[in-house]
Amino acid sequence: MAKNPRRLLFRNTILLVIAAVMVGGTIFAFWPQPRLVETQAVTATPMVISFDEQGQTQVREIFTVTAPISGRLTRVSVLPGDEVIGSETVLARILPNPPPTMDARTREQAEASVRAARAMVAVAETSLAVQSEGQISAQGDFERKTMLLKSNAISLAAFDAAEGKLTAAGLAVETAKASLVARRAELDIALAQTRAFEALEDREESLSDSQVILAPSDGVILRLFQSSEAPIAIGTPILEIGDPEHGLEIVAHFLTTEAVQIQPGMAVKIDNWGGDEVLNGIVDRVAPWAEQKISVLGVEERRVPVVIKLTSQVTRGFKLGHGYRADVQVLIWQRDSVLTVSPSALFREADDSWTVFVMDEDQKARLIAVEIGQRNPLQVEILAGLVAGQRVVLFPGDTLKDGDFIKERTVRDLR
pTM: 0.60
Closest to 93 measured CA to CA, from 67, 55, 113, 111: 67
51-58+244-335 — its CATH code?
A: 2.40.30.170
More confident call, 22 vs 287 = 287
Interacting residues of 109 by C-beta distance below 8 A, sequence separation 6+:
none
Distance of CA 381 to the CA centre of its chain: 38
Tell me which range, 117-121, 164-168, 281-285, is most confidently predicted by mean pLDDT: 281-285
Please report the pLDDT score of residue 415 as a whole number. 42
The percentage of residues in the chain with a pLDDT greater than 70, rounded to a whole number, is: 87
List, in sequence order, every residue forming a beta bridge with 225; answer none if it has no partner.
none
Per-residue pLDDT tens for 215-253?
998 989 999 998 888 999 999 999 999 888 878 899 999
Please report the pLDDT score of residue 77 as a whole number. 85
Distance of CA 234 to the CA centre of its chain: 24
Q: How far apart are CA 171 and CA 134, in angstroms?
A: 11
pLDDT at 409 over 90: no
CATH top class, domain 35-44+337-414:
mainly beta
Closest to 321 measured CA to CA, from 218, 215, 220, 217: 220
Please report the pLDDT score of residue 201 as a whole number. 53
pLDDT at 411 over 70: no
At residue 254's C-alpha, the angle toward residues 251 and 260, to 5°, is 115
Q: How far apart are CA 30 and CA 397, in angstroms?
A: 23
Q: How far apart are CA 226 and CA 211, in angstroms?
A: 16
pLDDT bin (cut points 50, 70, 90) of residue 256 is: very high
Residue-wise burial string across 216-228, b where 16 or more C-beta atoms lie within 10 A, e elsewhere:
eeebbbbebebbe
Amino acid at 43: T
pLDDT at 10 over 70: no
List, in sequence order, every residue forming a beta bridge with 359; answer none if it has no partner.
365, 391
Q: How far apart are CA 88 and CA 215, in angstroms?
A: 7
User: Which whole number is the average pLDDT over 1-28?
Assistant: 67
Q: Are 344 and 394 in contact, with CB atoms under 8 Å apart? A: yes
User: Which whole number is the average pLDDT over 164-182?
Assistant: 86
pLDDT at 4 over 50: yes
**Burial tier of 380 (Cβ tally within 10 Å: 0-12, 13-18, 19+):** buried
Per-residue pLDDT tens for 99-136?
555 566 777 777 888 888 888 989 888 988 888 888 88
Amino acid at 127: S
User: Which whole number is the average pLDDT over 313-333?
Assistant: 85
In this structure, the number of other CB atoms found within 10 A of the CB of residue 324 comes to 16
Helices 104-150, 156-202: crossing angle, 10 deg rounding: 160
In this structure, the number of other CB atoms found within 10 A of the CB of residue 322 comes to 19
pLDDT bin (cut points 50, 70, 90) of residue 180 is: confident
Q: What topology is assigned to 63-96+207-242 in CATH? A: OB fold (Dihydrolipoamide Acetyltransferase, E2P) (2.40.50)
Please report the pLDDT score of residue 29 as a whole number. 55
List, in sequence order, every residue forming a beta bridge with 151; answer none if it has no partner.
none
